[in-house]
Structure 1
Amino acid sequence: MAARILAQLLVVGSGVLIRAVGQAYRQAIVNASKTGAAQEAMQNTIRRASQALTEQEARQILGVPEKAAWEEILRKYDVLFERNAKQGSFYLQSKVHRAKEHLEEVYRNKG
């Protein structure tokens, strides 16, 4: 009998706790939208994601000097891209690709 009462108290108590947590979460969302914290957090996330490589970072990734010819950059890119494709490092492979894209844009703008 006592075990049954204790079990019922646990079930009721956990239900009350779950409802309270849900209400607190909804209220936190409402407060964040009123103060603009949610929009600011989203803008910071977008800003961080859209930060592009600098030319110096792209050159460091590919390991090419500042005066390197475009053909040398392509050779380095091919070697690094294939090496990372074989070893399965998608992260490094994408960094190499982004570095080449950035340098390609720099060379295109320079003429």
Structure 2
Amino acid sequence: MASKILANLIVMGSGILGRAIIQAYRKALQNANKSGVAHEAVQNIRRVSKSMNEQEARQILGIAENATWEEMLQKYDVLFERNSKSGSFYLQSKVHRAKECLEGVYRQKSEQ
């Protein structure tokens, strides 16, 4: 009998605790939205993620400013494959972001 009461108390208590956590989380989101903290955080994330410039991309890939598209692709393939084998996802993503950045640069040059 005591074990049944204890089990009921545990189940009821975990349900109450779960609802309280969900309410607190919702309230925290509402407060963040009201104060603008959430919007500012999202803007900072977007700003940081798109901050690679052409010079940094060229340094990552190790290519000169007068390098051709084919040279850039060869260097990208080598570096991307090398980092995929050694398991460095961070470096692999930096190499990929550098290629994405330079794709835009080469597109602009080809349109002119």
TM-score (structure 1 length as normaliser): 0.69
Equivalent-residue separation in structure 1 for 2:8 and 2:58 (angstroms): 67
1:81 equivalent to 2:80? Answer no
- Counterpart contact for 1:85–1:93, Cα < 8 Å: yes
Percent identity over paired residues: 37
Q: Which residue of 1 aligns with 2:50?
A: 50
- C-alpha contact (below 8 Å) 2:63/2:72 kept by paired residues: no
State the SS of the aligned residue for 1:39: helix
1:64 aligns with 2:66: no
Structure 2: unaligned runs, 5 residues or longer? 85-91
Tell me whether 57-66 or 9-18 shows the greater mean CA deviation: 57-66
Alignment check: 8 A CA contact 1:33 1:39 kept: yes
> Could you say what secondary structure the match of 2:100 adopts?
helix
List 4+ stretches of structure 1 deviating above 4 A.
Answer: 84-88
Task: Tell me which amino acid in the other structure corresponds to 2:93.
Answer: Y
> Which sections of structure 1, spanning at least 5 residues, go unmatched?
none
Larger Rg: 1
Q: Distance in 2 between matches of 1:92 and 1:43?
A: 21
2: CA distance, partners of 1:29 / 1:21: 12
Q: C-alpha distance in 2, partners of 1:37/1:86?
A: 40
For residues 1-37 of structure 1, give each alpha carbon's deviation from its aligned partner in whole angstroms, at most 9, with x where no partner exists.
Answer: 1101100110111111011101101110111111111
What is the rounded CA distance, in whole Å, between the counterparts of 2:17 and 2:72 in structure 1?
A: 56
